[in-house]
Amino acid sequence: MISRGKARAYSNIALIKYWGKRDEKYILPMNSSLSLTVDCFYTETEVVFSNSYAKDYFYLNGSLQDESATGKISSFLDLFRKAADIDMKAIVKSTNFVPTAAGLASSASGFAALAAACNVASELNVGLRELSMYARQGSGSAARSIYGGFVEWQKGTNERDSYAVPVDDAKWDIGMVIVVVNSNAKKVSSREGMKRTVSTSPFYRIWSDKAEEDVKEAKLAIKNRDFEKLGLITERNGLMMHATMLGANPPILYWEPESVLVMKMVKELRDEGISCYFTMDAGPNVKILCRMSESNRIKERLMEVFDEERIIVTGPGPGVVILAL
């Protein structure tokens, strides 16, 4: 017997960050978070279950992955095998149209695409809310990549009610300019970085309480189409997340000198009347939330310092897409 599924999911960039788990097994976050799905980065994943395979195989960008990477995928496949009551092994082939593990959200598009492909291949066919909870258990931020536009991941009270919900399709002059400072894989993964921050940073509690309030304020700003307010909350929330990491032991600093340079350029652009705001994740790359209509002006300014291929302009992206086999 053989059963297949294939899907594409887009990355998402958090405006209000998820940085810490209250439950590591089910991946339940300390606070709710809010993101923008982007259309420039995505993952396509195909899953084939067959009773003729002796074990699971995981190919990423065409190369067969080692036991440790495959083990992560196997544990994730187990969730679907258990729910659909199948015991077939699988071949998973995934292609990242995004740099892997560079703070550009490959884990989000990666696990959202894998969840959607498994949903088809296992014939479980759950709805999007349930799918978001599956994706969450692969990587927390993947819960949000199930939907397009602005998305909230509600922290919930237990493993059955912590899922993402669509907030707004973001089709109102919203864009992002991403400056790829360095696309190499990071030394401290998000998983390890957030764990260390939760257990050692004295600022942690203050950060996660504030983030919960920030989600509410950001949603209100989106509802009122108040772009400036949304941008200011985004910028502050991102900086606060990095501040809590600096308080970890040993401290975590993902920034590089060019990251700081971009942050300063954003401030200068703003002083000149261009409404734009930066955010950074677990890596040195900087994402600039802006008006799509002003993205080219921002790009031109950045090109005074950075090569064009390091500057990516993106619009809001869609939710998960099932692909034909």
Binding residues for ligand ADP, per CB under 6 A? 43, 60, 72, 94, 96, 100-108, 110-111, 114, 139, 189-190, 282-283
215-229 in b/e form (b: 16+ CB < 10 A) is bebbbebbeeeebee
Place of tokens 């340079």: 261
User: Is 127 exposed, middle or buried, given 0-12, 13-18 or 19+ CB atoms closer than 10 A?
Assistant: exposed
Q: Whose Cβ is closer to ligand ADP: residue 283's or residue 301's?
A: 283
Residues 154-193 that bind ligand DP6 (CB under 6 A): 190-191
Query: Does a cis peptide bond (omega within 30 degrees of 0) precede residue 316?
Result: no
Give every CB contact of residue 157 below 8 A, 6+ residues apart in sequence: none
Q: Does 285 bind ligand DP6 (CB under 6 A)?
A: no
Q: Assign 3-state DSSP to the chain and report helix, strand, coil percentages, each to 5.
A: 40, 25, 35
What is the nearest approach in angstroms of ligand DP6 to the Cβ of residue 64?
Answer: 22
Q: How far apart are CA 44 and CA 11, in angstroms?
A: 11
Using CA of residue 271, residue 277, residue 282, residue 284, what is the dihedral sign?
negative
Site string for ligand DP6, 102-121 (x = CB under 6 A): -----x--------------
280 pairs with which residues across the strands?
A: 286
Distance of closest approach, residue 192 Cβ to ligand ADP, in angstroms:
8
The only residue of 10, 19, 150, 163 in contact with ligand DP6, by rule CB under 6 A: 19
Binding mask 22-61 for ligand DP6 (x = CB under 6 A): -----x-----x----------------------------
Taking CB under 6 A as the rule, does residue 81 contact ligand DP6?
A: no
Query: If binding is defined by CB under 6 A, does position 299 make contact with ligand DP6?
Result: no
Among 11, 43, 109, 141, binds ligand DP6 (CB under 6 A): 141
Q: What is the DSSP letter of 199?
A: H
| CA gap 203, 197 in Å, rounded | 9
Q: Looking at 52-60, 122-130, 139-147, 269-277, which segment touches ligand DP6 (CB under 6 A)?
A: 139-147
Distance, CA of 4 to CA of 278 (rounded, Å): 40
| Contact residue for ligand DP6 among 18, 150, 163, 306 (CB under 6 A) | 18
Give the shortest CB-153-to-ligand DP6 separation in angstroms. 8
| The two three-digit tokens of residue 235, written as one number | 């910028």
Hey, CA dihedral for 8, 14, 197, 257, is it positive or negative? positive
> Least distance in Å: CB of 100 to ligand ADP?
5
The answer to the question of residue 139 lying near ligand DP6 (CB under 6 A) is: yes
**314 near ligand DP6, rule: CB under 6 A:** no
- The values of phi and psi at residue 21, to 5°, are -110, 145
Choosing among ligand ADP, ligand DP6, none, which partner's interface includes residue 265 (Cβ < 5 to 8 Å by kind)?
Answer: none
> Applying CB under 6 A, which residues contact ligand DP6?
14, 17-19, 27, 33, 107, 139-141, 190-191, 281-282
